Amino acid sequence: MPKSSQPSLFSQLSLVFASLSILGLVGCQSLPSTSNTPTAKTETQSEEKPKEKESKVVVTALPDDGIRRESQPLPSRQPPRVILPENQNNTKKLKDGQGVPAYQNLMQSYLKNLRQNNLKEAESSLIQAQRIAPQSAEVYRELARLANLRKQGSSAEAFARKGLSFAQNNTIRKQLWEQILESAKLRNNANLARQAQQMMQRY
């Protein structure tokens, strides 16, 4: 049997496989490289992070209400000023019978009886006057005088010292110490007499 001029089946298959291999190589070279694409995308995503929301403080101006504000200088510091009430009287108001007509009448009655050497009636008038004016230094001065006239030195000193606690001026104080001096002489009390003389010199 004569040989066929056509190529054998094996040869044809070999050519087909060779052609496919060549096409595969060409296709791989023609495809774009994708090895670096994911990295570039990651870098882009890292750079384009969402910006944090910034907190904003809103300042709202208060209404002026039409009030005009002007800067004023601060007041200078000065020491506090003490204001005393007018006509301040340092003397205490005592129940001394001043301005009381009944008291004045009794004191006049006392002096009248004293000049007449009527000591009992004079003492009665003084006791009544003392009830009206229990803080009268004038009454205690006259009670001390009556006690000295009766030679009662101790009582005279006691009355005079009581009057000193209510005396409001130096004149009455000196007169009270005079009665104390007389009481000291009645009792021969040299120390008390010396003290009374010293106090009288002060007034």
Q: Which residues contact 179 (CB under 8 A, 6 or more apart)?
A: 141, 144, 145, 148, 156, 157, 159, 160
List pLDDT tens digits, range 99-113. 889 999 999 999 999
Tracing tokens 């007034």 back to the chain, one arrives at 203
Query: Is 111:150 a contact under the CB 8 Å cutoff?
Result: no
Query: Is 136:176 a contact under the CB 8 Å cutoff?
Result: no
CATH of 101-202, picked from 1.25.40.10, 3.90.1150.10, 1.10.579.10, 1.10.10.10, is: 1.25.40.10
At 111 the pLDDT is: 94
- Mean pLDDT computed over every residue of the chain: 76
List pLDDT tens digits, range 26-62. 555 544 554 444 444 444 454 555 555 555 655 555 5
Report domain extents, the chain: 101-202
Reading the block at residue 74, the tokens are 């601060």
